[in-house]
Amino acid sequence: MAGESGSNSVVDDLIELSGKTDPNEYLKLFVTQQIADRRGFIARMGPEVNIARNEVGQLNALIVGLEASEDVGEVWDTIMCLRDEQRKAEAKLADLQYWLTVAEEEIEEKQKQLK
Residues composing the chain: 115
Distance CA 42, CA 35 (A): 11
Q: Which of 106, 101, 115 is nearest to 24 (CA)?
A: 115
- Residue 48 and residue 96 in contact, taking contact as beta carbons nearer than 8 Å: yes
Q: Could you give the C-alpha distances from 9 to 13, 17, 27, 29, 39, in angstroms and in order?
A: 6, 12, 14, 15, 27
CA 59, chain centre distance (Å): 23
In CATH, the number for domain 2-114 is 1.10.287
* Mean predicted confidence (pLDDT) in 88-115: 95
Exposure on the CB side of residue 79, measured as CA atoms within 13 A: 13
Q: Which of 88, 114, 115 is nearest to 32 (CA)?
A: 114
pTM here is 0.75
Boundaries of every domain in the chain: 2-114
* Of 28-32, 42-46, 87-91, 106-110, the least confident: 28-32
Give tens-digit pLDDT for 14-65: 778 777 777 777 788 888 999 999 999 999 999 999 999 999 999 999 999 9
